[in-house]
Structure 1
């Protein structure tokens, strides 16, 4: 909201005091007396105004508008884009999924399910981080993003609601037991999904190791793995064997 600049009021008070003192000390009977007082008032006004260094309205800076909650404050919370719309969507969905896992972990009291959720959260974060560094691996997690992850969250949400119902009916107890039994399988599947992202890299490393070993052996830098190892027994050219 804009505010008008404050004006210096000291000159006005000085003129008022002048007229009060002048009226009390000097009788004002003729128009000349009033003219003289007016002239003196102008001089006093200008002198006091100069002493006070009153700023003109144009010299004051307008008040700065306070930043709104949705402008600068919201900027840091926005996730930076990578320039790849497909990757940006996966990372955004992944962040939402991990946040939902944290919420479920806080709500569910069962320590076994809670531990499984924490493990799912850790593995999922590593999956999304690997895809961030290697976007070419996005096709490898399509089924994970489209089915396995949302279905797992659906099961955990159902477990959360039913466990909070406060009763032990047949349907609720059976469903809770099924979800508890399924969670270990889900954790193993998530871990296997993460491991599969390193399949091509592991193959490349294995190939590089094999080629390196072969070249080093060919140059005589190491023993040739294709040649049989020499025996530590001393050679016996005469073929004589001693038996006891």
Structure 2
């Protein structure tokens, strides 16, 4: 399945290049019929697509975990990431944060969650495995706090822009005597 997702992302990249940089000798003109995946909008950037793919991976892994602390933390992570994606779709500057998150944070989280599942399903457990599983739970909770901060920061930038617009409009109205 991951290979199919990679193919979709690479196909999307090729289509974007063809659409934005057409060549006269290019016989494969961009067509919406070439891209038939309802999960992704044509407007979505590769960064947003990669984030959505990571959300799907975390959702899948979450369904395999039954833990009183980790399960709600993963649901919260998914929710935060979805908010970040929604923000980034409307505000391109949000993609910079998503790019950073996709480079290290999410792939590492996915790797840790896979290990957590392996540890939990291992027939014989030792103290090291249980300690590592607890550390994974703690780091996922800490990652959520970092993601929340990033989401607040994203919205802070928008808030500053709006406040600037308000100040300019007030000044112009005062200048016009209104």
TM-score w.r.t. structure 2 length? 0.68
Q: Which of 78, 81, 89 pairs up with 2:42?
A: 81
1:101 is aligned to: 58
2:131 is aligned to: 174
Q: Offset of 1:220 from its aligned partner? A: 8.8
- Stretch of structure 1 that moved more, 191-200 or 121-130: 191-200
For residues 21-36 of structure 1, what are the structure 2 equivalents within 5 Å?
Answer: none
Is 1:139 the counterpart of 2:96? The answer is yes
**1:197-228 Cα deviation digits (max 9, x unpaired):** 2232111223344456667788998xxxxxxx
- With over 3 angstroms needed to count, the CA separation of the structure-2 counterparts of 1:201 and 1:79, relative to structure 1, is closer
**CA contact 2:77–2:144 (8 Å) conserved in 1:** yes
- With over 3 angstroms needed to count, the CA separation of the structure-2 counterparts of 1:106 and 1:141, relative to structure 1, is closer
5+ residue gaps, structure 1, are 1-71, 222-244
- With over 3 angstroms needed to count, the CA separation of the structure-2 counterparts of 1:185 and 1:90, relative to structure 1, is same
TM-score w.r.t. structure 1 length? 0.51
1:194 is aligned to: 151
Is 1:151 the counterpart of 2:108? The answer is yes
- With over 3 angstroms needed to count, the CA separation of the structure-2 counterparts of 1:133 and 1:211, relative to structure 1, is closer
- Stretch of structure 1 that moved more, 181-190 or 132-141: 132-141
Q: Offset of 1:156 from its aligned partner? A: 1.4
Is 1:184 the counterpart of 2:141? The answer is yes
Q: Which has the higher contact order (CA 8 A, sep 6+)?
A: 2
Q: Secondary structure at the match of 2:63?
A: helix
**CA contact 2:84–2:94 (8 Å) conserved in 1:** no
**Greater helix share, structure number:** 2
2:83 is aligned to: 126
Is 1:164 the counterpart of 2:121? The answer is yes
5+ residue gaps, structure 2, are 1-32
Structure number, greater radius of gyration: 1
Q: Distance in 2 between matches of 1:78 and 1:207?
A: 36
**CA contact 2:58–2:110 (8 Å) conserved in 1:** yes
Q: Secondary structure at the match of 2:122?
A: coil
User: How many residues are aligned here?
Assistant: 145
Q: Distance in 1 between matches of 2:160 and 2:133?
A: 41
